[in-house]
Structure 1
């Protein structure tokens, strides 16, 4: 498994909150692919009439949780490329808040969210596929935490799993 190959100097303890929840795989590409399949299956299992459901007043809707997963992935992929030493065109995700990560979720159907997720994940996989082994092991600082590029990839998968658990436990969506 990839997690077994990662050296202790590639991460700080705080990052383990998400990386410990990452899908299994022997490479980061396998982890991201397995995570993609899990997301597609999970999204397809959500009843269409539950996409606008929120378990309490002021909490995110299911669509907003899914949009947050998608937005987080965009942010983290860009950060992974920056840590790898690849200059991105815009650095548009340098500053963000939790509320900005759900922007645009209103009025999106489950199918639209599934398509958006699939497109974003395919771009993420292509970005990670373009990196050398050395670039994947490059270490940088992420929100004050040490993380290698491949650990950032594990965060993408683990963040998704974390929110699946929220949807299961708080929203009652299995």
Structure 2
């Protein structure tokens, strides 16, 4: 089943930026294509650049990639909950507590690449069994509206956003 692009009204106001980064009109294809792009990018990064940060106080290459992995896990859990109609209020992973210790110093690019691949395969598997009703459920009251569909496209756009930053700011 093709998972079309989301309605921009089914997501918070800042999501369309990320939706626009993703190309195509099928989420599974977009997830697969992005998975390959991320793996190619990581394999092109010299080991000597793994701990590079383009400015004081900014993440290193490894920290940014761990952030992408962490956020995909976070979004995948929200996707699971929305698809199953489970009301969950998760703290948004942001701020000092979230970035305090990513254990990047003890990780390798190969290790992080393998983790990202595993997470992405799980995300793709999660979506592969969903119906339109599961993809578009938005029955919880609250400040922001989400659907599994909009969160899935956010996963792709967020990953592309950080890959672009790695190329532009970190020159990898």
Matched, 1:158 2:157: yes
Change (3 A) 1:114 1:131: same
TM-score (norm 2): 0.84
- Give the deviation of 1:25 after TM superposition: 3.4
Higher strand share: 1
For 1:147 and 1:80, locate their aligned partners in 2 and report how far apart those are by CA, in whole Å: 9
Q: Per-residue CA shift, 1:100-155, capped at 9, x if unaligned? A: 256232221110011000011111111111221221122367x9432221111110
TM-score (norm 1): 0.84
Q: Per-residue CA shift, 1:22-78, capped at 9, x if unaligned? A: 2x3332211111111111111111111111111112211000000000000000010
Matched, 1:97 2:94: yes
Change (3 A) 1:2 1:113: same
Runs of 4+ in structure 1 over 6 Å off: none
1:2 is matched with which residue?
A: 4
Gaps in structure 2 of 5+ consecutive residues: none
Tell whether the 8 Å contact from 2:8 to 2:16 is kept in structure 1 after alignment.
no
For 1:16 and 1:56, locate their aligned partners in 2 and report how far apart those are by CA, in whole Å: 28
- Give the deviation of 1:86 after TM superposition: 5.2
Name the SS of the counterpart of 1:103 in structure 2. coil
Q: Which moved more, 1:57-66 or 1:125-134?
A: 125-134
Q: How does 1:99-118 map to 2 (within 5 A)?
A: 99=96, 100=98, 103-118=102-117
Change (3 A) 1:140 1:42: farther
For 1:140 and 1:87, locate their aligned partners in 2 and report how far apart those are by CA, in whole Å: 10
1:18 is matched with which residue?
A: 18
